Amino acid sequence: MAHTPVAVSAPGKVLLAGGYLVLDRAHTGLVFGLDARIHIVAQPIHTTPGVSLNEITVTSPQFVNAVWEYGYRRQSDGGINITQLSIDADLGLNKNPFIETALAYALNYIATTSSPNITPAAVTILADNDYYSTSGAATEPGSTRFYNFRVPLSQAHKTGLGSSAALVTSFTAAILSYYLPKESFDLSTDIGKRRLHNLAQAAHCAAQGKVGSGFDVASAVYGSCLYRRFSPNLLTNHTEPGTVGFAKQIKAIVDEVDGAPKWDTEIRKNEFKVPSGLRLVMCDVSCGSQTPGMVKKVLAWRKEKPDEADTIWAELQNANDGLAAEMKTLAESQGTRDYTALKKCFTRIRTAIRTMSEKSDVPIEPPSQTSLIDACEAIPGVLGGVVPGAGGYDAISLIIEDNQATVQTLNKLFAHWKFKGEANGDEIEGKVSMLRVREEMEGVRVEDAKVYVQEIA
């Protein structure tokens, strides 16, 4: 029995406030979803009569040789084992741990349902253009929505919007929506989103080889929110895909049954709002940072000097809470708004971040980023900015008044700005540019599969 084509999308993210803090359950992060989305389309594979396949093909047509084919078979314990197939003997296997892991986790979860109907499928991945640098991109005739980047995925320059979390979330949601009936999985319900969150978190952590804070997956599912991480031990005791009992373990973790621990993640959407008339903008500096190394060094400093670190972290948490509260107050206020308090919130956050940078000897807000944000904040209509997430030389985030005059003045500043940063330890001169993204309150959602037909034909 063939399934009906489905399409799902999930947003990118930016951790506006709470970098490093969000790793600790004692603290929270203020996460903005972004309107740049990863889109997944799942549909039947059409074969000639009499031909039988046990295959799921995944393609990303915006990149060169971005094709992954997987065979699947049921195991004696009811689980599903997947094996990547080589599409070309000369190319060998083109591994993608995020796709392969998400597929394995999703199929094994589906295998535990009462009547799993896993049939051959073709899955297409489409990324909104701002996830990657478009310097070498070309548009296909008749299509400008999804650029053809003309390079292998491994050579594409990411802009740091959370592509892996958005990919795993939307991919998992599409596979579940494609194979499961609505009574078993409905993305429009709270329980559907919770199960997706749990499964996508488990798959994403496994794919990246560590149990992260999970704020990126949470925002991909729920959109902009205040986030408190789950306890890491939730995901440290299950087996690997392909081993006996894996499917049942994943079922217990996702559905929180059979004695599995309850997820203690906190997603608070009601405590945070974006005031009308304001917007978030992201400004790429074309350098990038080595985030894992920076995080490791900050955590080592915190372990070595806990009292010093905890004092700074407490100040940052208070400042971050103040920012969220002030934005909510402004969103609910009537009449003329005064942004003085909001500007002070950003000043307080940046001061604490620079102190953390100095004490840990990690360039969380490097001098070149300080100069850039200071110049932006001097522009009328710019209320404040930060180097989000782990900091360094990734894109900066600004909260501005939502009008063309402010955007145009920022673009004039960037056109002549000479930014000196680092990439792979080497000093380089980066080009500053405004990404075409803004905040997105909504998380994962079902799309109209027919809309994507032209893109994947």
Identify how many contiguous H helices and E strands the chain contains and give both numbers: 11, 16
With vertex at residue 128, the alpha carbon angle to CA 125 and CA 134, rounded to the nearest 5 degrees, is 110
pLDDT of residue 1: 58
Residue 103 in tokens: 């597929």
- Judge if 6-269+442-456 and 278-438 fold alike in CATH terms: no
- Summary mean pLDDT of the chain: 90
What residues does 29 pair with on adjacent strands?
227
Determine how β-strand 382-386 pairs with β-strand 396-401. antiparallel
pLDDT over threshold 90, residue 292:
no
Position 19 pLDDT exceeds 80: yes
Q: Cα separations (Å) of 407 from 268, 284, 382, 388, 449?
A: 30, 14, 9, 20, 34
Q: What is the pLDDT of residue 293?
A: 85
Of 181, 220, 209, 176, the C-alpha closest to 195 is: 176
Q: How confident is the model at residue 140 (pLDDT cuts 50, 70, 90)?
A: low
Residues in a beta bridge with 80? 74
The three-state secondary structure class of 230 is: coil
Model pLDDT, residue 427: 72
* Residue 417 Cα distances to 376, 429, 434, 455, angstroms: 11, 10, 12, 36
| Res 160: pLDDT | 81
Using a pLDDT cut of 70, give the percent of the chain over it: 92
User: CATH code for 6-269+442-456?
Assistant: 3.30.230.10
Per-residue pLDDT, 430: 75
Per residue in 400-435, pLDDT tens?
999 999 999 999 999 999 887 665 566 767 789 899
Q: Where are the domains of the chain?
A: 6-269+442-456, 278-438
pLDDT of residue 138: 61
For tokens 């900015």, name the residue: 385
pTM for this predicted structure: 0.93
> Which of the following CATH numbers is that of domain 278-438: 3.30.70.890, 3.20.20.70, 3.40.50.920, 3.90.1300.10?
3.30.70.890
Question: What is the CA 425 to chain-centroid distance, rounded?
Answer: 25
Give the pLDDT score at 457.
66
Distance CA 405, CA 413 (A): 12
Q: Give yes or no for residue 317 having a pLDDT over 70.
A: yes
pLDDT of residue 47: 62
Q: How far apart are CA 214 and CA 228, in angstroms?
A: 9
Q: What is the mean pLDDT of residues 228-257?
A: 92
Angle formed by the axes of helices 97-111 and 163-179, to 10°?
30
Q: Is the pLDDT of residue 139 over 60?
A: no
How far is 297 from 285, CA to CA, in rounded Å?
23
pLDDT at 180 over 70: yes
